[in-house]
Every structure is written in structure tokens, then in C-alpha cells.
Amino acid sequence: MYTVQHCAAQMVKQKTGGNIVCISSAAGHHGCAPMTCAAYVASKHAVLGLVKQVAGELAEHGIRCNSISPGIMRTAMLKKIFEGTQGREELLSSGCMLKRVGEPDELHGAMLYLMSDASSYMTGNDILVNGGKL
């Protein structure tokens, strides 16, 4: 939230418009039970709400605000979750249509789209990149 506030203030001051892209999580859309991570899910849901509100506040300044919600991605955090628990990766990836964990590089296309003029009529929205979560 503070990063968005700081960036938005600078963009408004410069009067050049621009794009803000926040990173949420697919968990902000559908939770991640049976894991116990209510605080994580709540914080990611909050990012989605922040994006919608900020988009409305900044639209008059030509500033768009959107978000990306990654699904299960092979990150350092996920590696810790998988450590010592055999079968957890298969269990988590079985819940998506592609039946695999995503790679961080697979977020590049969504980010490029949101930062480019190709998405010039898009604000206050989220792109789910989650392998087709069932």
C-alpha cells in the first residue's frame, strides 16, 4: 500500500500518467485450504481491493492500476513448503488443469501486457495466472 501511495503521488505530480501493477495471489480469489494461511489469504484479497480503489482514484490522472494473481509458482517460499513433505507438490498441482507448478517466468507476459498500451482500456482488474485452478 505504501509503495502504491508513493508511486501514485509521484505520477500525479509529474502529470505523465502511467501504470501501477501490484502482485496479489490466486489465494486472494479462492483461498488455499487445506493449508492454514488465513492471514496470507486476507492480505492477498486486500491487494485486490486496493487495486480497485486506487484505479478509481487515479483514473482522472491517466494512471491505471491492475494486478496479477499468480497461482502455485516455484518460488523460494514454495520450496520451503515442499521441503520434508513428500507428495505435497503433486497434491497442490493436482488442483489445476495443467497439473503442474508454474515457473516465475510465466508471469512475464501478463506483466508486459499490463505495462503496455495493449491494455490501455484496462484498470482496476486482475489477471489470474494459475494454470487453470479447478
Q: Counting Cβ atoms within 10 Å, is residue 19 exposed (0-12), middle (13-18) or buried (19+)?
A: buried
Which of 2, 40, 113, 121 is catalytic? The answer is: 40
Q: In angstroms, rounded to a whole number, what is the distance separating the alpha carbons of residues 102 and 71?
A: 7
Could you tell me the CA-to-CA distances from 77 to 83, 86, 102, 126 in Å, in that order? 10, 16, 13, 22
Q: Is 113 a catalytic residue?
A: no
Express the helix, strand and coil content of the chain in percent, nearest 5 each: 50, 15, 30
For residue 110, give the 3-state DSSP assignment: helix
Active site residues: 40
